Amino acid sequence: ERGGNNSFTHEALTLKYKLDNQFELVFVVGFQKILTLTYVDKLIDDVHKEFRDKYRNEFQQKGTLGLLNGTFDFKDDFMRLLRDAEESSKVRAPTVMKTFEQSLKSQKTVKCMIETRGEKPKEKVKNKKNKGSKKEGTEAVAAPGKASAGDKQPSATGEREELTKDEILQKNREEFFKRHMKAGEKSSKSPKPEAQKEKGKKPRVWDLGNSNAKVLDYSNSATNGSAEACPVEEFDPDTALGDRNREPGRLYDLEYESDDEAEEEKVIQNPSKPSAKKGGLGGMFGMLKGLVGSKSLTREDMDPVLEKMKDHLIAKNVAAEIAVQLCESVAKKLEGKVMGTFTTVTSTVKQALQEALVQILQPQRRVDVLRDVMDAQRHRRPYVVTFCGVNGVGKSTNLAKISFWLIENGFSVLIAACDTFRAGAVEQLRTHTRRLNALHPPESHGGRTMVQLYEKGYGKDAAGIAMEAISYARNQGFDVVLVDTAGRMQDNAPLMTALAKLIAVNAPDLVLFVGEALVGNEAVDQLVKFNKALADHSMAQTPRLIDGIVLTKFDTIDDKVGAAISMTYITSKPIVFVGTGQTYCDLRSLNAKAVVAALMKA
């Protein structure tokens, strides 16, 4: 699925590879990363051609078993090709500057140079004269309209004979702008209003609002941030939970209702309309037109289909750069592949693209939070999760959803309020803590408080608060610590340094990037710069980067799910949670096939 990039770097080695789709071979060359070998591409192409041509018959007769069981005496050929490639790189002489005789300037004679230089001032003088005469004409002819137009015509034709086309165009533009400027000045001269408006701003009164300001005044509250002193908030559990018939503690898969049957009906009905006009033969030939037959696919066959696929992906919110790379990798995967008799290029390319997208959404390392929490329990330490992301993506809201999911699975949670910057951030988490404790009171869990907020107010060092919260959780026996951080833009260097410090000092088990599903190209920029900032500002030799993604506001995008592809492609990290609504139960796990089905929908 990443075949568009034909090189891979691992520690001190660089690997370059080439695919032979006809015989299903992969040719790989490895060399030291520090070396700049200019002949590597030539070498791998030559080896590919030589090896394929030498053993073509054996591949065709024996197939894959012949490849596995066969012995290939290719060492001498390889050494010869390597020597040729090395010599070809040495033979190339450095580029030499052209001599004066080889340049275009030497072909010009002195006479022609003098003539061109002599003509220019004459033209300039003529132009100045013409401009002067034009000004005099416009000043003289101001009152009559028709007569002046008749007088101007012969002079204008005389000027145009002397001027070039570009100069005529420029003059016409100037005249056009002058006319419009004069018209604008006339219309702009409007009489000043006699009555001046009253100074000062009146307070706005909302129709449905409360006009009494005392009701909204919370400044005399005596609670001072302590959760115990806060009054218990009355709320309807149905509004917080949503679906009451769900299975507690289960993280449901993301669902997508595909209209396959409706699409099939449309596909059957559409070809029948033109075939009725053209007759029976026309419909039959139309059906057979796109079939490939038993031949190998070329880039020319795939280019029109890939161009449509690329535009389709971009329209579905996939970042433009990633859409191009995906189509390039599909082209490399299919080029030279022999197709079946009754398959079309479009269906083959679409199938390959779908497989690539599913592979991208299912990265190699799967994050299993519940398993990791139980593993941390065995070691008698809390499992620490840090949330980071840009402003307004829903970090605190989705942190509360994840807290609810963990509580329903029997784990106690400590929320660390490390957003000491945004006004109301601590109060927001305090409200969530009260509601979660109301839904899961200590009486239901043997007198154990399942969720608690650790806060130190505003303007404090976030890394220090996180460290204290983890120490507190270890002493009090909490299973999970969820660290909420302030939203920050990826270009803000001081805030990115502070985030890198928090992660480096506290070494969380999981670093989750919270991103919204509404973004397109911005998703790539955010993730790349967050990872780069964490790497640059980390003090460790192997810096800690983002481990997973929380994709929020997924219920707002319909089938434009391209942000999921962009984020996983650029980081190779899994989407751990998907936020799909406003209640605590609106948390899902990613279903790769459902997302790809939505993405490929026309």
CA nearest 321: which of 569, 19, 6, 593?
569
Q: What CATH code would you report for 369-593?
A: 3.40.50.300
Question: Amino acid identity of 538?
Answer: S
Q: 260-269, 288-297, 416-425, 462-471 — which is least confidently predicted? A: 260-269
Structure tokens at 577: 């949670």
Whole-angstrom distance, CA of residue 198 vs CA of residue 171: 49
CA nearest 550: which of 591, 590, 597, 496?
590
What is the per-residue pLDDT for 139?
45
Instruction: Indicate whether 432 pLDDT > 90.
Output: yes
Beta bridge partners of 512: 387, 548
Find how far residue 36's CA is from the centre of its chain.
31
Q: How confident is the model at residue 576 (pLDDT cuts 50, 70, 90)?
A: very high
Phi-psi region of 457 (alpha: psi -120 to 50; beta: other; left: phi over 0): left
Q: 167-176, 283-292, 388-397, 589-598 — which is least confidently predicted? A: 283-292
In what order do the strands lie in the sheet containing 13-20? 7-10, 13-20, 25-32
The residue written with tokens 């018209």 in the block is 183
Beta bridge partners of 549: 513, 575
Instruction: Indicate whether 388 pLDDT > 80.
Output: yes
Number of other CB atoms surrounding residue 569 within 10 Å: 25
What is the per-residue pLDDT for 289?
47
Q: Which CATH architecture has domain 7-91?
A: 2-Layer Sandwich (3.30)
pLDDT digits (tens, 9 = 90+) for 36-55: 888 888 888 889 888 888 88
What is the per-residue pLDDT for 244?
59
pLDDT digits (tens, 9 = 90+) for 85-119: 888 877 665 667 778 777 777 777 666 666 544 45
Is residue 354 a contact partner of residue 363, using CB atoms and an 8 Å limit? no
Number of other CB atoms surrounding residue 103 within 10 Å: 11
What is the per-residue pLDDT for 112?
62
The pTM for the full model equals 0.64
Q: 82-91, 217-226, 346-355 — which is least confidently predicted? A: 217-226
The residue written with tokens 């999911």 in the block is 405
Q: 231-245, 318-332, 343-357 — which is least confidently predicted? A: 231-245
What is the per-residue pLDDT for 386?
95
Whole-angstrom distance, CA of residue 146 vs CA of residue 135: 19
Sign of CA dihedral 460, 461, 466, 468: negative
Segment 449-475 mean pLDDT: 92
Helix (H) or strand (E) holding 596: helix 592-600
Is residue 466 a contact partner of residue 385, using CB atoms and an 8 Å limit? no
Q: 106 vs 323, which has greater pLDDT?
A: 323
Give DSSP secondary structure letters for 276-342: HHH-HHHHHHHHHHTB--S-B--HHHHHHHHHHHHHHHHHTT--HHHHHHHHHHHHHHHTTPBP-TT
The residue written with tokens 């706005």 in the block is 204
Q: 193-197, 498-502, 522-526 — which is least confidently predicted? A: 193-197
Instruction: Indicate whether 154 pLDDT > 80.
Output: no
Sign of CA dihedral 310, 312, 313, 317: positive
What is the per-residue pLDDT for 311?
93
